[in-house]
């Protein structure tokens, strides 16, 4: 995600001058600076506000609410620009998009995660039992009868890597689960824009929720043709019931 981080007026330490240089003897109470050190506090504060508004939400649910309600175009429908290039920015630049605090308070649906989901992700990455136990601080063993897949981590975005070699396996599936935190509704999926060289299909294409905390799963299949190494294409997947829009960025690369 991205958040306000350019020319931010904030409190400043009296330990150093406004330039941060040892030779700067000036001392000020405030300074105007830019960078991730400014945007990160914005997002951290928003996470705190969401937790206060929804005490029962997990960290993953809060992250999901911030990501899926972020915007990637302005109200005039123009795409956000990468000021370094002057071109429209991509998920490699803005991630899920620019945070929208008001929308994040009421996202409709969230992609939730538990500690067990993260441990399963480590199993998919082929971590050893010793390594996982060291991280989990408790006994845990990967289920030998279960097929763990990195692509099944219930994350609010999709990163797809294809083989650029002709004849390589270029079919990837991602499974996700949505939890209803809004009112009952029926959501329909859309994927845009069309991605050259890639067919994206979603099953099912409709999800209906009748009560709070109800969960529904879906699978996205990415089928791609061979492309030159270094090729990147982007899209966006959205679930909408007319009231809520739950968006996820898609980044597809050939290596």
For the chain, domain boundaries: 8-12+29-104, 114-151, 152-254
Q: What is the pTM of this model?
A: 0.91
* HEC profile of the chain: CECCCCCEEEECCCCCCCCCCCCCCCCCCEEEECCHHHHHHHHHHHHHHHHHHCCCCCHHHHHHHHHHCCECECCCCCECEECCCCEECCHHHHCCCECCHHHHCCCCEECCCCHHHHHHHHHHCCCCHHHHHHHHCCCCCCCCCCCCCHHHCCCCCEEEEECCCCCCCCEEEEEEEEEECCCCEEEEEEEECCCCCEEEEEECCEEEECCCCCEEEEEEEEEECCCCCCCEEEEEEEEECCCCEEEEEEEEEEC
User: What would the pLDDT profile of 231-252 be if each residue is shown by its tens digit?
Assistant: 999 999 999 999 999 999 999 9
Average pLDDT of the segment spanning 189-210: 95
Q: Which of 35-44, 112-121, 141-150, 159-168 has the lowest mean pLDDT?
A: 159-168
**Residue bearing the bigger pLDDT, 195 or 68:** 68
Q: Which of 93-102, 166-175, 183-192, 196-205 has the lowest mean pLDDT?
A: 166-175
User: What would the pLDDT profile of 122-179 be if each residue is shown by its tens digit?
Assistant: 999 999 999 999 999 999 999 999 999 999 999 999 999 998 876 666 899 999 999 9
Is the CATH number of domain 152-254 2.60.40.2310? yes
């Amino acid at each position: 995600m991205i958040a306000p981080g350019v020319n931010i007026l904030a409190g400043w330490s009296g330990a150093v001058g406004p330039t941060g240089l040892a030779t700067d003897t000036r001392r000020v109470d405030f300074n105007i600076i830019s960078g991730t050190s400014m945007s990160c506090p914005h997002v951290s504060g928003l996470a705190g506000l969401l937790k206060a508004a929804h005490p029962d939400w997990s960290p993953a649910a809060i992250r999901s609410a911030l990501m899926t309600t972020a915007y990637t175009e302005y109200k005039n429908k123009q795409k956000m620009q990468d000021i370094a290039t002057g071109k429209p920015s991509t998920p490699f630049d803005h991630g899920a998009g620019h945070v929208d605090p008001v929308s994040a308070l009421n996202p409709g649906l969230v992609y939730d995660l538990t500690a067990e989901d993260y441990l399963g992700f480590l199993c998919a990455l082929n971590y050893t039992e010793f390594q996982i136990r060291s991280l989990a601080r408790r006994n845990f063993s990967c289920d030998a009868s279960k097929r763990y897949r990195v692509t099944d981590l219930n994350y609010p975005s999709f990163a797809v890597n294809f083989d650029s070699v002709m004849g390589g396996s270029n079919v990837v599936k991602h499974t996700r689960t949505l939890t209803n935190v809004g009112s009952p509704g029926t959501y329909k999926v859309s994927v845009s824009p069309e991605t050259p060289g890639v067919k994206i299909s979603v099953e099912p294409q409709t999800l209906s929720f009748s009560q709070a905390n109800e969960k529904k799963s879906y699978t996205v299949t990415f089928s791609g043709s061979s492309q030159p190494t270094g090729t990147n294409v982007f899209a966006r997947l959205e679930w909408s019931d007319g009231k809520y829009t739950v968006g996820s960025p898609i980044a597809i690369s050939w290596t």
